[in-house]
Structure 1
Amino acid sequence: MVSFFEKIQKVNGSEDNEEIIDDDNISIFSLLPAYALSEIKSAFIIGFYIYLPFVVVDLVISSVLLTLGMMMMSPVTISTPIKLILFVAMDGWTMLSKGLILQYFDLSINP
């Protein structure tokens, strides 16, 4: 992504015509958007991984309630406690924190 934003700056003429030789010459105006986009991408991936099991629980609860003939009962009243129990049983906060921290740990090991 950094090279993409570097090319945009060269097209806009906001930087001299010097070539990028190493990582020390990269402009902060190229690094900031690239960093922001990579963080947004990571946030969407983590959000998707959290959201997907909850959607599956909702679908299973809804289909079980319809199978039992309980059409008037709200699936939310049954699925919310099951979602909370699932999140606690799977140690959700640890998994979420680990996912956030490991992305920076991988960056520090593989520069």
Structure 2
Amino acid sequence: MKKPLFAFLALLALTGAAAAQQIDLGGIGQANGETVGYIIQMFGLISVLSVAPGLLIMVTSFTRFVIAFSILRAGIGLQSTPANLILISLSLFMTFYVMAPTFDQAWNTGVRPLMDNQISQTEALEKISDPFRTFMLRNVRDKDFDLFADLARERGQQVSRETVDLRILVPAFIISEIRRGFEIGFLIVLPFLVIDLIVATITMAMGMMMLPPTVVSLPFKILFFVLIDGWNLLIGSLVRSFN
């Protein structure tokens, strides 16, 4: 688990680790381009680390997991159980599980050679980002990719799927993940909706007008989800949904 985590942190930092080691604090007072370049690199590193959660959402499977889990909780009718902390933690660990091959490849081809001073920062950046680019290309919808590619072509940019810019691929991947998350959420909510309708029909027929149907249907929905081993089915389906 450590290597995937280090690989992802290296993706967030991009060029920060090597740059931080090369900074000569004694040269800060000298007005030269090298010192200014180091300061800009450090500023960029701090800025990237400050938006690390956003980067995690943008280039990994986290979005699909957290949307599906949130819709599941709403479909059952529970307001705060499981708690947000549990859902987010589960989404994070499932993200590390799904992205483990990508993290390992980024670590072995980019981070480790950079730490051993075998490659330059520019080469490391390319080798670290390539596995994530491949993952996003495998899971992005063609329609969403074509949307941003066409918008880029309207501005005069040349777009190739093999060498597409991350500024085009990442937003296409995000909206693809949001769509798939809602598609999975619809399938999750549907059986719970049927239970709500059945309970509402029965309570209305019995003349219990003042009793909210959701109060009666809640234990039945929880029992149904437990009997079908819902967590096992849901997690397995989500993991298999990634190519």
| TM-score, normalised with respect to structure 2 | 0.39
Residue 63 of structure 1 is matched in structure 2 by 201
Residue-by-residue CA offset, 1:18-58 (whole Å, 9 max, x unaligned) = 463xx431111121011111110111011111111111111
Alpha carbons 1:61, 1:79 under 8 Å: kept: yes
| Structure 2 counterparts to residues 14-93 of structure 1, below 5 A | 15=157, 18=158, 20=160, 23-93=161-231
Distance in structure 2 (CA, Å) of the matches to 1:102 and 1:57: 27
The 1:19/1:30 distance shift into structure 2, 3 A limit, reads closer
Considering Cα pairs closer than 8 Å and 6+ residues apart, tell me whether 1 or 2 has the greater RCO. 2
Amino acid at match of 2:146: S
1:8 to 2:146 alignment: no
Alpha carbons 1:2, 1:31 under 8 Å: kept: yes
Distance in structure 2 (CA, Å) of the matches to 1:51 and 1:73: 22
| TM-score, normalised with respect to structure 1 | 0.79
Alpha carbons 1:65, 1:71 under 8 Å: kept: yes
What's the RMSD between the two structures over aligned residues? 1.6
Distance in structure 2 (CA, Å) of the matches to 1:52 and 1:75: 17
Structure 2 gap ranges (5+): 1-143
Structure 1 gap ranges (5+): none
Q: CA deviation at 1:7?
A: 1.6
Identity of counterpart residues, as a percentage? Answer: 34
Alpha carbons 1:62, 1:75 under 8 Å: kept: yes
- How many residues in Structure 1 have an aligned counterpart in Structure 2? 100
Structure 1 segments of 4 or more deviating over 3 A? none
